[in-house]
Amino acid sequence: MPDHLAIDQSSDYLNLTGILNSSFNREGFNVVNANWARNQLKRPKKKTNYQEIALEVFHVLERSSSVDPSLNTIKRYKLVKLAINAGIPSLSINKGIDECVKQGALVVLPKNMIAISTSRNPPLVEAFEGEEWTPPIIYYFEFNYIYRDSFTCGRTIKEFYASLNDMSDGSQLASIKFEQPALSSMCKQEIINKCVSKLMDKNHHDFKFQKNKSYVDITSITVLGKSGKDCRGKGAAALANDFSNSILKLYNVVDRDNLDIFLKEHKNSMTGLFEESDYIEAGKLAGAEGVIFVSATCVNKHTEIDVSLSDTKTGSIQWSIHSENLDPHEIADRFIESVIED
């Protein structure tokens, strides 16, 4: 399921846009205007680091005063001019000066004069890490049609064409084509519902659950993110946490803090990377009867999540799940249904 489903909200002759909005909303999509969606896919502008501007302003004044000692004290507006001539963005200069004063690299004198401090130490620039930007997943629904008049429906659809595309690169995910005589007895609401249903079928979902023939009943578990990210960039640890919260009705989940203590002690006593058996051993020491591992991959814009339960006594896999295009909560729901039916 994408973060948003974009549809061009301009009016059409049969008002199919409104019907489509309602139909997709019922299917759980978050329907948005296509223009709004395009803006969401634009990378945000990097925030200005005023400490870097402060350092540039300081160096401008330092170089200028070394050539012309009279500039050791300077009117603020003249310092701004010097900085502009040096190529520093004008809108940031005053904040850069304020940052210099804040750090003590420059001092403010009477009559709005500025001077380099006696220490002549430049302002510090701390490591500035902007927030990592992950673009939202937005699908774009595009459609076209030919209408006709019907005795039973009034004005309805004669032919209907639609496609579902990934807005990030325009790649087509699914398409449908409805023509006569298949639509001969349908009114427009029924046609749209059928269209949405067929698109949902084409947006492939898969869930495969396998259980060990010698399954051992396990009541207490811990859940760990093993590796990888889904197509939204969500890591295995976060996916594991979501899955853990959704299976509390089946298992007692061991406090993760206890497991982290054992893992830390284990790490201090060895070198190299952890293996799966190390986590199973740590889970056993933390009081869990089983360890659930969650891993994810993104293949051709389809998220694949694998989940498995290992017995901490024997290390054997008690059950495993392979899923495609399902989030951890949906996987947990289907897993619980499979266990109950079994």
| Domains parsed from the chain with CATH numbers | 4-43+134-203 (3.30.160), 50-116 (1.10.10), 207-341 (3.40.50.10610)
pTM passes above 0.75 = no
Amino acid at 73: T
Render pLDDT for 56-106 as a digit per residue (tens, 0 to 9). 999 999 999 888 888 889 999 999 999 999 899 888 899 999 999 999 999
> What pLDDT was estimated at residue 58?
94
Structure tokens at 274: 């952890």
Give one DSSP letter per residue of 48-102, joined into a string: P-HHHHHHHHHHHHHHHHHH-GGGGEEEHHHHHHHHHHTT--HHHHHHHHHHHHH
Residue 72 and residue 25 in contact, taking contact as beta carbons nearer than 8 Å: no
Tokens of 203: 């947006």
**pLDDT number for residue 113:** 92
Q: Is 211 exposed, middle or buried, given 0-12, 13-18 or 19+ CB atoms closer than 10 A?
A: middle
265-287 burial, b if ≥16 CB within 10 A, otherwise e? eeeeeeeeeeeeebbbbbbbbbe
What's the N-to-C CA distance of the chain in angstroms? 28
Angle at 252 (CA atoms; ends 246, 258), nearest 5 degrees: 105
Mean pLDDT of 159-172: 86
E-assigned strand segments in the chain: 4-7, 31-33, 73-75, 106-109, 113-116, 138-150, 154-166, 172-178, 206-211, 220-227, 252-253, 290-299, 302-311, 317-324
Pair of tokens at residue 83: 């900085």
Q: Which of 15-29, 62-76, 218-232, 262-276 has the lowest mean pLDDT?
A: 262-276
Query: To the nearest whole percent, how much of the chain has pLDDT over 90?
Result: 31
The 10s digit of each residue's pLDDT in 247-306 is 888 898 887 666 666 666 665 555 445 677 878 888 888 888 999 999 999 876 678 999
257 or 111: which leads in pLDDT: 111
For the chain, give the mean pLDDT: 85
Q: Could you tell me which residues come within 8 angstroms of residue 40 by beta carbon, excluding any fewer than 6 positions away?
A: 4, 135, 136, 138
Per-residue pLDDT tens digits for 131-141: 677 888 899 99
β-pair type (31-33, 4-7): parallel
Band (176; pLDDT cuts 50, 70, 90): confident
pLDDT at residue 4 tops 70: yes
Residues in the chain: 342
* 3-class secondary-structure state, position 39: helix
Question: What are φ and ψ of residue 309, in 5° steps?
Answer: -115, 125
Position 207 confidence tier, pLDDT thresholds 50, 70, 90: confident
- How many degrees, rounded to 5, is the angle at CA 287 between CA 286 and CA 292? 85
Q: Please tell me whether residue 229 adopts helix, strand or coil conformation.
A: strand
Alpha carbons 256 and 237: distance in angstroms, whole number: 12
Please spell the DSSP secondary structure of 239-268, one letter per residue: HHHHHHHH-TTT-EEPPHHHHHHHHHHHHH
Q: Is the dihedral of CA 310, 316, 318, 323 positive or negative?
A: positive
Report residue 226's pLDDT band, with 50, 70 and 90 as the boundaries.
confident
Q: Is the pLDDT of residue 128 over 80?
A: no
